[in-house]
Amino acid sequence: MSTNTATADGSDEPSASGEGTGTMMRSSVVMAVGTMVSRLTGFVKAIVIAAALGTQLLGDAYNTAQTIPFIINDLLIGGLIASVIVPLLVKRRKRDSDGGVQTEDRLFTSAVVLLFAITALAILAAEPITRLYLGDTHSTQAEVSVYLARFLLAQIFFVGLSGLISGMLNTRGKFGAPVWAPVLNNLVIIAVGLLFLWVAGAGRTVETVTESELVLLGAGTSAGMALQTVVLLVSLWRTGFRWRPRLDLRGSGLGEALRTAGWMFLYTCMTQIGFLITANIVNRAGAESIRQGHDVGAGLTAYNYAYLLFQLPYAIIAVSLITVLLPQMSGHAADERWDEVRAGFSRTLRVSALVLVPLGLALALYSVPVSTLVFARGNTSASDAASIGIILAVMALGLVPFTVFQLMLRVFYALGDTRTPALIGVANVAVHGALAATSFALLPPNQVVVGVAAGFMLSFVSGLAIAGTILSRRLGGLDGRQVMGTLLRLHAAAVPSVAAGIGVLWFFTDRVGEGLVTNIGAPVAGCLLGGLLFLLFARLLRVRELDAALGLVRARLRR
């Protein structure tokens, strides 16, 4: 596509829109590569921490304490960055005579003071906060988690400040540092995990870990987030920002902006209440499982690592499509072109499902060998890793409903509606909480985490049923016949692939036995054979999305 356009006198000069498109494309590439590297190093970080701490009581103690600062930040600061602060800064930079400098100074000063106060209070209240997520667990585990939390809660300050600085950089058109800085944080934590494994060796438990080793874990992890903040601050400084402390908030416009974020705050609260339910129940069950002599991690750490693997297909495939869909759909909604909104939703769902249906089934089928291959090292035994795989299998079966629900939320946001998603979030948490409590009451302690994972996935099934009904009424339908037809054909096309995959897994397990060859060979051979069968039967069943995707690939290859 040409980037030049003819001027009124017939001459050619660079087009502003062309330059804008080129800049956007360069920023998108930088962000895409940075995001991919960040996720890759984050994945390596999880593997190293799993090897260093295992998935039993010590791993649960660390992961619980490490999660709390991010929860507190999301509740009090994080949700405001994208929904309130960034739009406010953009508006002030355009409208204010000083380019929004005073507004930025006020926000930065307020953030530093507020985050420092919240962090100090959280550290002082580390014990009751941590025990809220641990529940009635092993007493030594609780002591270790609280001890770690006193170091890890310091991250609240750095996480919140990093979010604000990233927002300020984005308003300046600087996207590289916010996506690359977390890579440094991941690398620091990887180094801390390896150092812990070298110093402490294998076999550390909540009873045998020393205070100096806990200091290494806690202070080292927080140092990674501090480094991330420093890097972002330097990047902001290089754009010309010079902080002049101001606390005169009158006339800043922040109060009015905050009042518009109420429903988004409610949705954030619902998601965090859902996690609180999960953490409390699985930590209790995991500790009880160990007390009963089940030497397998079945608590929060196993759940978190399974969720990490579950998120990868969604993050790689669906998020990229959703990112493109949202601004287009918002434009159509603003013009009240409801047919285009429906078409955009339907097209994105069906294209996503073309990949996610077979991928979710393959992930469920090979979850145990994949989890064993990834996590079975160091302090994480093969049985611990297999437990992660079982949880992952349950989650993988909910990959498509999870993705459909996330797409429906984006439709609501495109319509300018944050109220309905917040209220649906209440229903989701109610379903998830009820099923989690039922699992805790009825299942053996070592299987409760599997029931909680199933309840979490089923909450999205109920959520999409509610959301779909409301959206269908507002938009005059959601192209339901075509969507359901595609989903049914895709699942039918996947049946031979699943049968072949089961055969491949049986062959490797029976003839080769458990081990590295099976953990690599079965998923690779099964996915190759299953993928070919899926393509064949999808073609026979006339899945139109497949023809469109293959046509796009062929067009790319001809270039």
Distance of CA 345 to the CA centre of its chain: 21
User: Distance between CA atoms of 303 and 453, rounded to whole angstroms?
Assistant: 8
Q: What is the pLDDT along the chain (559 residues), one digit of tens a residue?
A: 333 433 334 334 334 444 444 444 455 556 667 777 888 899 999 999 999 999 999 999 999 999 999 998 887 776 666 556 766 777 777 777 777 788 888 888 888 998 999 999 999 999 999 999 987 766 899 999 999 999 999 999 999 999 889 888 877 877 788 888 999 999 999 999 999 999 998 889 999 999 999 999 999 999 999 999 999 999 999 988 888 888 776 655 566 566 666 777 888 889 889 999 999 999 999 989 988 888 888 899 999 999 999 988 887 776 666 655 656 666 777 677 888 888 888 888 888 899 899 999 999 999 999 999 999 999 999 999 999 999 999 999 999 999 999 888 888 877 878 789 989 999 999 999 999 999 999 999 999 999 999 999 999 999 999 999 999 998 888 888 899 999 999 999 999 999 999 999 999 998 888 889 999 999 999 999 999 999 999 999 988 888 766 665 565 555 5
Distance of CA 527 to the CA centre of its chain: 25
DSSP assignments along 152-218, one per residue: HTTHHHHHHHHHHHHHHHHHTT--HHHHHHHHHHHHHHHHHHHHHHHHH-TT--TTT--HHHHHHHH
Torsion, CA 72, CA 74, CA 76, CA 82, rounded to 10: 160
pLDDT in tens, 334-347: 677 888 888 888 88
Sign for the pseudo-dihedral over CA of 336, 339, 341, 342: positive
Bridge partners for 413 per DSSP? none
Nearest to 110 by CA among 80, 82, 87: 80
Rg (CA), the chain: 25
Phi–psi pair at 428, nearest 5 degrees: -60, -45
User: Distance between CA atoms of 536 and 527, rounded to whole angstroms?
Assistant: 14
Query: How far are the Cα atoms of 5, 255, 374, 391 from residue 516, in angstroms, in the given order?
Result: 59, 58, 11, 21
Is residue 158 within 8 A of residue 226, CB to CB? The reply is yes
Amino acid 551: pLDDT: 63
Listed in sequence order, the residues at least 6 apart from 138 whose beta carbon sits closer than 8 Å to its beta carbon are 57, 206, 287, 290, 291
Query: How far are the Cα atoms of 29, 179, 232, 312, 556 from residue 36, in angstroms, in the given order?
Result: 11, 9, 19, 11, 22
Nearest to 185 by CA among 148, 226, 239, 244: 226
Torsion, CA 508, CA 510, CA 516, CA 519, rounded to 10: 50
